[in-house]
Amino acid sequence: MAVTGDDTAATGDMPTYQIRAPTAALPQGVVMAASPGSLHSPQQLAEEATRKRELRLMKNREAAKECRRRKKEYVKCLESRVAVLEVQNKKLIEELETLKDICSPKTD
DNA sequence: TCGCCCCAACGTCAAGAGGA
DNA sequence: TCCTCTTGACGTTGGGGCGA
């Protein structure tokens, strides 16, 4: 997998959401087409067209699943970063208040 | 128990990006 | 220019919660 989101979670740069994965092997059950030169009759052509469509749908089905998986991962990463930044922000506000107390002149 | 709503996951289509 | 991949959009489906 080319997406390396975990190492940047909640710290530095956002992971690249859209990174192309190297083309994986065909899903199970997919059979490569016969060579086009071996097709002649309209029926054979129709079968070939159907087979190509089914192959395309199968690939896109898998691609959509993977795309959603990456998106969920990305969103989780963003959420955890938000959580970290909120804690950080809270600490800084507290620190600021402390410094204000220290530096402000006493008015008794 | 039933009908309704909400949500997550899915399959498909279409458009755009990028490589050959 | 063609082909493949990626992803947003949309409709469908199944499961869980909730009130009548």
CA of A63 to C1' of C4 (A): 11
The confidence score (pLDDT) of residue A106 equals 72
Cβ contact A72:A47 at 8 Å: no
Q: Among all protein residues, pick the one whose CA is nearest to the C1' atom of B12.
A: A57
Tell me what pLDDT residue A47 has.
85
In whole angstroms, give the CA distance from residue A90 to residue A102. Answer: 19
Residue A41 contacts strand C, CB under 7 A: no
- Whether A91 sits with its Cβ under 7 A from any strand B atom: the answer reads no
Whole-structure pTM value:
0.71
Which nucleotide's C1' sits nearest to the alpha carbon of A24?
Answer: C5
In terms of Cα–Cα distance, which of A1, A17, A26 is closest to A76? Answer: A17
Is there contact between A46 and strand B, defined as CB under 7 Å from any strand atom? Answer: no
pLDDT in 10s for each residue of chain A, 108 residues:
333 333 333 333 444 454 444 333 344 444 444 444 555 788 888 888 899 999 999 999 999 999 999 999 999 999 999 999 999 999 999 999 999 999 987 766
Distance separating alpha carbons of residues A55 and A30, to the nearest angstrom: 7
pLDDT recorded at residue A59: 97
Distance A82 CA to B13 C1' (A): 34
Contact A101, A31 (CB under 8 A): no
